[in-house]
Amino acid sequence: MKHTTHARSNRSKVLLLALLFGLGVVVAACGGGGDGDGGGSSSGGEGSDLSGSINASGSSTVAPITIRAAELFEDESPDVAITVNGPGTGDGFVQFCSGETDISNASRAIKESEAAECEEAGITYTELKVAFDGIAIMTNPNNSLECVTFGDLYALLGPESEGFSDWSDGQALADELGGSNSFPSAPLEISAPGTESGTYDSFIEIVLEGIVEERLGEDASAAIRTDIPGIAEDNVIIQGITGSDTSLGWVGFAFADENRDTVKALQVDNGESGCTSPTVETIADGSYPVSRPLFVYVNNEKAAANPSLEAFIEFYLNDGYTSAVTEAFGDSGYVELPDDQLQEAKDAWANR
């Protein structure tokens, strides 16, 4: 009796182990190509013998650029491990200034308080402007509207416009905010990206956030009207704009520019440089207001100590640059720097 039960429990242990091992083998058989394939996909870069790891964090808006640059770099130098996280610009600087990260992605320049923290920790860094996050505000070419102010956009799309279904509904609010347009009495058909899109966040941060804070206080419950249809596909947003004569919406500038024949990109006036159309030039010189520069901050000491980090930034600003910026979301991306500004970034990196 004792013998048989012992044999039995032993056999059951073996069986349990065998099953768990089998589970592992099946999973490994499915995924086992991982190391082999991973190395194999770098067929073009057998010359590189760089190895090391790089850690980037910061803005989730900039992360796609750095991720695209990183994956192209890793294709050439498979032994370099680049990890990119996107908790937000502010959180990114906290990590950066405590020496946790090598690279900090930022959708704004570093604040004085943050710079002071870096200095306190003895961290020196190089600021590199890498791209522009430009947003085109669009309507149908048949709409006679030409130029809008941030106030107009707030009146039509801000949290106080919840429920407005007609352009004229926003008139009173727009007048109050100093607008000079007279909106037509026509259906307001909004065609815009949803929360999963970086462009949605960027629009709020660039256009609406300032007015929201001014009017509703910092702890306002919403920064945008919540009854807009969140459209995931840029194509579908364009279709929505062309589908109605009195539509209103926004997409990333690069995508609107490709469709400039079918949609009208509105001029925008925020009181500084008058009504300005979005073009590569007005975005690059900063006169088009619905746009912001995107930055990458690099820790100088870590770059000096880590050849793979130095090589990665070189790649980022040179061979990988265009692809990283314009293919950040796969098929679309951000606005590239004009040559002189890109050269400035390269010089800043060289003279760090």
Partner 1 sequence: MALSTLGNHSVTTTAVERAILGKGSDSKGLIFKLLVGSSIAFALLVLVVLLFDVVTGAWPVLTGRGADFLSSDLRSRASESGVFQPLRGTFWIGVFVVVFSFPVGIGAAIYLEEYAGDNVFTRFIDLNIRNLAGVPSVVYGILGFSIFVKFFDGFFPNSVGQHAGKTTAAAGITLAVLALPIVIITASEAIRAVPQALREGGYGVGATKSQVVRTQVLPYAAPGILTGTLLSLARALGEAAPLILVGAVQDKLGGRTGFFDFAQFGEQFKALPITITNFAGRPGDDWQEVTAAAIVVLLVLVLMANTAAILLRNRFEKKRG
Contacts with partner 1, residue ranges (CB under 8 A): 1-2, 5-6, 8-9, 12, 15-16, 19-20, 23-24, 26-28, 30-35, 37-39, 41, 53-55, 63-64, 67-68, 70-71, 74, 78-86, 99-102, 193-194, 196-197, 232-234, 302, 327-331
Which of 165, 197, 202 minimizes the C-alpha distance to 89?
202
Cβ proximity to partner 1: between 168 and 239 the closer is 239
CB of 313 to partner 1, least distance (A): 15
Structure tokens at 135: 């947003």
Closer to partner 1 by Cβ: residue 27 or 172 = 27
Q: How far is the CB of 52 from partner 1 (least distance, A)?
A: 9
**Rounded distance, CA 132 to CA 327, Å?**
14
For partner 1, the closer CB: 225 or 302? 302
Residue closer to partner 1, measured from CB, 1 or 112? 1
Helix (H/G/I), strand (E/B), else coil: 97: helix
Written as one string, the DSSP assignment of 122-183 is T--EEEEEEEEEEEEEEE-TT----EEEHHHHHHHHSGGGTT--BGGGGHHHHHHTT-----
The smaller minimum CB distance to partner 1, of residues 26 and 116, is found at: 26
The distance of closest approach from Cβ of residue 33 to partner 1 in the complex, given in angstroms and rounded to an integer, is: 4
DSSP secondary structure, 252-268, as one string:
EHHHHHHTTTTSEEPEE
- Report, in Å, the least distance between residue 150 CB and partner 1: 25
**Which of 102, 117, 91, 130 has the alpha carbon at shortest distance from 296?**
130
Tell me how far, at minimum, the Cβ of 37 lies from partner 1, in Å.
5
**Which of 179, 249 has the CB closer to partner 1?**
249
Q: Contact, 208 vs 160, CB < 8 A?
A: no
Polymer length of the chain: 352
* Unique residue bearing structure tokens 């992605």: 105
Nearer to partner 1 (CB atom), residue 154 or residue 255: 255
Angle at 351 (CA atoms; ends 346, 352), nearest 5 degrees? 100
**What's the closest the beta carbon of residue 38 comes to partner 1, in angstroms?**
4
Smallest distance, partner 1 to C-beta of residue 197, A: 5
Element (H, E) at 349: helix 339-350
Distance, CA of 326 to CA of 131 (rounded, Å): 9
Nearer to partner 1, 35 or 219 (CB): 35
- Output Rg (C-alpha) for the chain, integer angstroms: 26
Collect contacts of 221-224 with beta carbons under 8 A, ≥24 apart. Answer: 221/159, 222/159, 223/158, 223/159, 224/157, 224/158, 224/159, 224/200
> Could you tell me the smallest distance in angstroms from the CB atom of residue 1 to partner 1?
8
